Every structure is written in structure tokens, then in C-alpha cells.
Amino acid sequence: MPAPHGGAPGFSLSVAEVVRRFLPGLPLAPHPQRVLRRLERCHTGQHGWSLWQCEACAAAHWRPLGCGDRHCPECTGRAREAWLQRQHEALLPVRYYHWVFTLPAVLRPLALQNPEEIYTLLFDAASATLLEFGQERFGVRLGITALLHTWGQNLMDHPHLHCLVTGGGLTAENPPQWRGPKQAQYLFPVQAVAKMFAGKFLAGLAALRPELPLEGSLRAWRDPAVWQRTMAALHGTKWIVFAKGSVVGPESVLQYLGRYTHRVAISNGRLLRMDERTVTFRYKDYRKGEVIREMTLAGTEFVRRLSLHILPPGFTKIRHYGILGNNRRAQDIPRARAALEHSPWRQELSPSPPTPPPPPAPATCPRCGGEDLICVGRLESNGRFLPLQRGARRLRLSAGEPPVCDSS
């Protein structure tokens, strides 16, 4: 077998390399430790190897497998493309609207201590707000796809929810009708949405309060008087909700989704330099008009910040609501398409998915230069070899792509 390499082809520096150097000895909770250890072993051979054979000269070549973790910048591309193709099947011929709901800074420590509860509440409050506005303004049930991001460009905690919302929805009539906004640019008044969102979130937080362990810097919140003062201040705070206007057409909608789905806290492409003590990376300074700047952190601080964005095991970070909800879409999407057939809210969409980017160039055989490298099996980390099953899809290796070989 070849020697393990330090990162994916095409990158001079990878998140996995940074984690390998600076994770040892860093005091982290067990779950973030486990995830980061998977990342540091990505493409080293410790997750196993795939075996590829050249069809021209029959030479065999071993390639180290990736970790497959959803937090890994090298292992999310294929999952993203498959997910986007599935979403095209549910796309409706209407305008879509992009909303962003941000958790106030004072609540971020609470989210770090109780991520599952607080992030779930963020989903619940935002989706309930949008659904209620749809019912009140138009008398309809909207469709919503919501995606959680927990980071800012500097890798600090900055939980916010991206929501893509249908421009209108289905009435309760039988058969249902489609009804939407008269003015196309914005769906609802932003400040009214922000006020309702804050109220729903804080009501949910009050109900959660007895279940939340308040540790460290939040121990003072155990005092009922301190808790009440904090909640009163939050009721008086301007909550940040941002409406980005309308998006039209499947290419635009899927492009929007593609920007936010399966994204991780930082990509390999933003990493610039690493030495024995520090890591330097690029970031956008939104306070200065998205100016590109460089930031240098101690390597251990970089890994600590990275660990802030590791989601709880099994946590669903992309959720669908209303007529796009998993329990309703099978019946509501055909109804919506029928209702939109002769509707003034209909937007003509392309009948086929957007053209995918051209495939990467094929990898070449180191022995003969041939371009047909076919996966024939996988060697798992426990030493067990799994040959590619007869009739399975023949996979060709591409240059610059992590090797994938499904032998199950």
C-alpha cells in the first residue's frame, strides 16, 4: 500500500492536518473528541483503503478512504449533490424567499451548553413564525426548508437559521387553491416577523428552563431573579431577522440551497498557513463590506473553535415544514402543482435539474498513464477486504476527488 498522505489532492493544507497537529492534549468533551479524531484520520488509511485496477495494464492501486463525517470539508461534496438532486423533485413553480433567523449573542453560551435543546427551539420558533404568518396573511400553509449554521467567518459561535420559503401556499379548501403575496419582492414585514419569532423562542425557552443545566458562566442564571431580568432584557432586545427577497427558478433556488446545505465551519480552501504554533486562514469581514482578511490563531484555539460547531449525534440540521414537511409532501406537492397549473403565482421552471458542473478529469494510472481506474473492492480498517459485488455500479476514479468505493 502507498504511504498515507496528509490531505485531499489539490490542497496544500487541510483541516485534517491542522487537527492532527493540534488536537492531542486539548481538553474537549467526548463527542467532539471522537468527531475530530475521525477527521484527523481522514485519507490516512486509518479508515481503510479502496483498491482500484487499471483496465489498460491491470495494475492495482490502493487509495486511502475518507472519514465520511458530515463535519469534514473533504467528505461532504457527494452527499450535497445527491441531496440537491432529491430537492429538485420537490421544487414548485413559484417564487421562493430567503430568510435568516439569528440567535442573540447573550444566548450563545446557553446554546453551547445545550445544543440539542436550543437549536431545536430555534428551528421550532422560526418555522412556527413563518407558518403563522402564512396563515394570517394569505390563509395558506407555506412550504419551508430550514438549514442550521452555527458559525461566523471567524469560527466563533454564531447560530443562525437559513429558511427558504415558498411564495405562498395551499388553502384549506377541497380542492385546495394556491394563494400568495401581491407584491413579489418581500413576503412579510421583517420587524413583525422578528417580534413574533422572539416571542415564540422566549416562550419555548421558559418552558425548557427546568430541564437546562446552567453551568460555568451561566450559573448565575439559576437565580430566579437573574433569570427574569435576563429574559426581560431579551424581550426588549431587537432580534436579528433578515429577509433577502425573492429567488426565482430552479437554477436559482438550488444554487441558493447549494450554498448553505452540507457546508462545514471552514473549508480547506480558506486555510493559508500552519506552523508549529499557529494557523492562518481567510475570512470575510462583514462589518467592512465583506472585505477579505487574514486571521492567525494559535493552533489549539483554531481546533477549539472548530469543536464548537460539532452537532450532537444524530441531530438533523436540515428540516422541512408545512407542505414540504416529510409527513405531508407526498400529498401536498402534487396538490400544489395542480393548484398552480393556471395560477397567477405560477413561475415557469425548467423541467429538468440544473446542468451539473463538468466532471473532474479522470485520474491516471501511475504505471501506464491510463485513465480507466475501476474500483474493485475496499479494505476496511479492521483488515477485512470487501470485493465489489457483482452487478454493482462501476466507479471510476477522478483526479482531485476523494476516492469512494462502496462494496456493500
**pLDDT surpasses 60 at 404:** no
Please state, in angstroms and rounded to a whole number, the distance separating the CA atoms of residues 270 and 283.
7
pLDDT value for 349: 60
- Per residue in 56-71, pLDDT (tens digit) is 899 998 888 889 899 9
Question: Which pLDDT band, with edges at 50, 70 and 90, does 406 fall under?
Answer: very low
Report yes or no: 111 and 218 within 8 Å, Cβ to Cβ: no
pLDDT value for 392: 43
pLDDT value for 390: 52
- Per residue in 173-191, pLDDT (tens digit) is 999 999 999 877 779 999 9
**pLDDT surpasses 60 at 34:** yes
Average pLDDT, the chain: 87
349 Cβ neighbours under 8 A, 6+ residues apart: 91, 93, 249, 250
- Per residue in 194-217, pLDDT (tens digit) is 999 999 999 999 999 999 999 999
**pLDDT surpasses 50 at 332:** yes
The closest of 85, 71, 78 to 310, measured between CA atoms, is 71
**pLDDT surpasses 70 at 123:** yes
Cα separations (Å) of 302 from 221, 269, 272, 293, 306?
29, 15, 13, 16, 6
Domains and CATH numbers, the chain: 1-75+357-408 (no CATH), 77-265+308-339 (3.40.1310)
Between 36 and 55, the higher pLDDT residue: 36
In DSSP terms, 241 is beta-bridged to 101
- Per residue in 71-87, pLDDT (tens digit) is 998 887 767 777 777 77
Q: By CB neighbour count within 10 A (0-12 exposed, 13-18 middle, 19+ buried), where does 1 fall?
A: exposed
- Name the DSSP letter for residue 287: G
Question: Which pLDDT band, with edges at 50, 70 and 90, does 245 fall under?
Answer: confident
Grid cell for residue 311:
452537532
pLDDT value for 253: 77
**Interior CA angle at 41 toward 40 and 43, to 5°?**
115
- Per residue in 291-322, pLDDT (tens digit) is 999 999 999 999 999 999 999 999 999 999 99
pLDDT value for 391: 43
What does the pLDDT average to over 369-396? 75
